[in-house]
Structure 1
Amino acid sequence: MPPRFHNLTISDIDRFDDFAVAVRFDVPPELVDDYAFLPGQYLTLKTDIDGVETRRPYSICTAPGEAGIGVGIKRVEGGAFSGHAMTGFAVGDVVEVMTPQGRFTYDGHARSTESGDHILLLAAGSGITPILSIASTALAASRSAQVTLVYGNRNTASIMFRDLVEDMKDRYLDRLRLVHVLSREARDVDLLNGRVDGAKITSLVDAGLISPAGLSGAFLCGPDSMISDCRDALVQAGMPAADIFFERFTPAPRREGVPPPVVVAAAPAG
């Protein structure tokens, strides 16, 4: 069915200092099927800001089967919608939310997990939002599934969903390899300093932290330059381009009421 807006009530808000917020919506029983989604998809939110109808798409951060449906929103300097969400949203507010969309998806039921599905997830900043949903789903889908998550940020304080990521690592100690890479905070291990880019991926491959030959798929989410560099590095390391999927994040428009999206829907590589 074509995507449609419905009024959903905010059931929970989790603020990450002053730079991001996670917003969860209650989905009434009669709309559960409408809001069924695959990890990696996004929701478009619509609200009135100073008399201007404003829409923004945000990736779903929750996993299928959880109560309600949630998105992650990172504050953008001058961003009309993100600033409103940070300071104006409250539990109990009603927001117009479009049904899920997007082709950047992970379908655990469609993948072969009997032989031990091993996926690589690369995220930078708020790119963790859909990646978090994919990781949760993959690890819960099969006891043999493995995930390597490389997550880049400026510093520890700027890590979005830090507690959830660390909890996931503790829950799946033997199946989740978590690699934090920080660009503006010195780490004891030099390999963990810098940005998530092509050179970093090559270094992680050389160090044995990423094994392209053993991966069944890679999912990348972040800025365009990161996507292009990391994709090329993985292909050069021997991973088939057809097994690499990505979503590019672009800055939100600064002028209120301008409709270009926060997220550019992406297609499989190749």
Structure 2
Amino acid sequence: MTPKFHPLVVQDVRKETDDTVSIAFEIPSELTNDYQFVSGQYITIRKIMDGEELRRSYSICATPQDGELRVAVKRVDDGRFSTWATSDLKTGEILDVMTPSGHFQLVPEISAARNYALFAAGSGITPIISIAKTILMNEPMSTVTLVYGNKGFSSIIFREELEALKNKYINRFQLIHVLSRESLGNPLQKGRIDKEKVELIGRTLLRGEHIDAVYSCGPEEMTHAVKNAMMESGVPENNIHFELFGTKTAGSQAKIIVPKDQDVLAKVTIILDGDRIEVDLNTAGTSILEAGYAAGADLPFACKGGVCCTCKAKILEGSAVMDVNYALEKDEVAAGYILTCQAHPTSEKLTVSFDD
């Protein structure tokens, strides 16, 4: 189902830290099915500010069993929406909210007996806490180790909730805080979550336990460090799942360089909700998403940075190349899927579908 925007009423705004709030939305009964989600997924919020349309994606921090749709927003430097949301957003406000999407997710299996290693930094805890709670509530034979990095104790988002989980699931949930600017008295918990830190935690606190699955969310440097360390310890690459927070935004990515003799003028057909729109587009021109949007197609997108997967479509005919890809798995690319915000045609005819 193609993600759609709907106006939703802000039901609750809760202060989590000095620079972070969590926001819950009221879901009308007729939209209940549309806003069903899986732990790890995100929503996109749309707001017009100073005449400009802003779209921001935020991971859902609730679980499907919590009975609410809640996200956390952390204020970032020069962040127009996050600054407004953390200082001025009030209960009762109406925001355009896209239906949930995202491939970073966990579907629990009640009979599973797995050892999970979860890693988060800063606001990367938002999908991770949902995943952790879902495992603990629905897989009674599984264990969870969560390594959570922050600058200091006061910047730990969901601190009380995490401590409550540790006390409730004392034999199945291990919580390890890592602080870069404060000391907890243990050298292991000082610094950043880099490759050496992950390896050290694996040797000491994980005690050599077999890790069945890894979920990591945070800056690109951290997620790559976790992936490399876990793979070297024997965890298969397919069992390591990650989502990037704080990656370069649209406009700052390196564009592909197309030699003149390879610059194709393509007839691009875009299919959305059964409708077709055609645009002429050069390989060296704008992305397929930008071209379609300029032609009047209300195509789904959020980050425009190759990270969130909202703009994913499938090639039905022809070929294309992407500037960057932080979201699609290798098998998805092999099956013909592209991120239209990063894709450019390389054949004279190209048909892509958002419906497949």
- Give the TM-score normalised by the residue count of structure 2: 0.70
Residue 242 in structure 1 maps to residue 225 in structure 2: no
Residue 105 in structure 1 maps to residue 102 in structure 2: no
Give 3-state SS (helix, strand or coil) of 1:56's partner: strand
| 2:198–2:229 Cα contact (<8 Å) kept | yes
1:110-125 to 2 correspondences below 5 Å: 113-125=110-122
Distance in 1 separating the partners of 2:32 and 2:162: 27
Letter aligned with residue 234 of structure 1: M
1:147-158 to 2 correspondences below 5 Å: 147-158=144-155
1:99-124 superposed Cα distances (whole Å, 9 cap, x missing partner): 00111111114xxx525122111000
1:42-57 to 2 correspondences below 5 Å: 42-57=42-57
| 2:57–2:303 Cα contact (<8 Å) kept | no
Match of 2:215 in 1: 219
Give 3-state SS (helix, strand or coil) of 1:72's partner: strand
Give 3-state SS (helix, strand or coil) of 1:149's partner: strand
Match of 1:264 in 2: 307
Match of 2:180 in 1: 183
> Could you tell me which of 135, 138, 147 is aligned with 1:138?
135
> Could you tell me which of 219, 224, 248 is aligned with 1:228?
224
| 2:119–2:215 Cα contact (<8 Å) kept | yes
Percent identity over the alignment is 38
Match of 1:195 in 2: 192
Distance in 1 separating the partners of 2:141 and 2:31: 33
Letter aligned with residue 236 of structure 1: E
Residue 261 of structure 1 and its aligned partner are, at CA, apart by 5.6
1:19-78 superposed Cα distances (whole Å, 9 cap, x missing partner): 111101111211111011111111000112223221101111110022220111110111
Query: Are residues 85 and 115 of structure 1, via their aligned partners in 2, closer, same or farther at CA, if it must alter by over 3 Å?
Result: closer
Letter aligned with residue 243 of structure 2: E
Any unmatched runs of 5+ in structure 1? Answer: none
Residue 187 of structure 1 and its aligned partner are, at CA, apart by 2.1
1:125-164 superposed Cα distances (whole Å, 9 cap, x missing partner): 0000000110111111122121110000011011111111
1:86-105 to 2 correspondences below 5 Å: 86-105=86-105
Which structure has the greater CA radius of gyration? 2
Residue 8 of structure 1 and its aligned partner are, at CA, apart by 1.0
| 1:245–1:269 Cα contact (<8 Å) kept | no
Match of 1:2 in 2: 2
Match of 1:69 in 2: 69
Distance in 1 separating the partners of 2:165 and 2:74: 21
Query: Are residues 67 and 262 of structure 1, via their aligned partners in 2, closer, same or farther at CA, if it must alter by over 3 Å?
Result: farther
Letter aligned with residue 184 of structure 1: R
Larger relative contact order (Cα-Cα within 8 Å, sequence gap ≥ 6): 1
Letter aligned with residue 54 of structure 2: T
| 2:152–2:179 Cα contact (<8 Å) kept | yes
| 1:56–1:262 Cα contact (<8 Å) kept | no
Letter aligned with residue 198 of structure 1: K
Letter aligned with residue 108 of structure 2: G
- Give the TM-score normalised by the residue count of structure 1: 0.91
Residue 94 of structure 1 and its aligned partner are, at CA, apart by 1.1
1:206-246 superposed Cα distances (whole Å, 9 cap, x missing partner): 114264x5222100000000011111011111111111000
Query: Are residues 8 and 115 of structure 1, via their aligned partners in 2, closer, same or farther at CA, if it must alter by over 3 Å?
Result: closer
Residue 35 in structure 1 maps to residue 32 in structure 2: no
> Could you tell me which of 169, 172, 185 is aligned with 1:172?
169
| 1:104–1:268 Cα contact (<8 Å) kept | no
Residue 268 of structure 1 and its aligned partner are, at CA, apart by 5.4
Any unmatched runs of 5+ in structure 2? Answer: 252-301, 309-326, 332-356
Give 3-state SS (helix, strand or coil) of 2:140's partner: coil
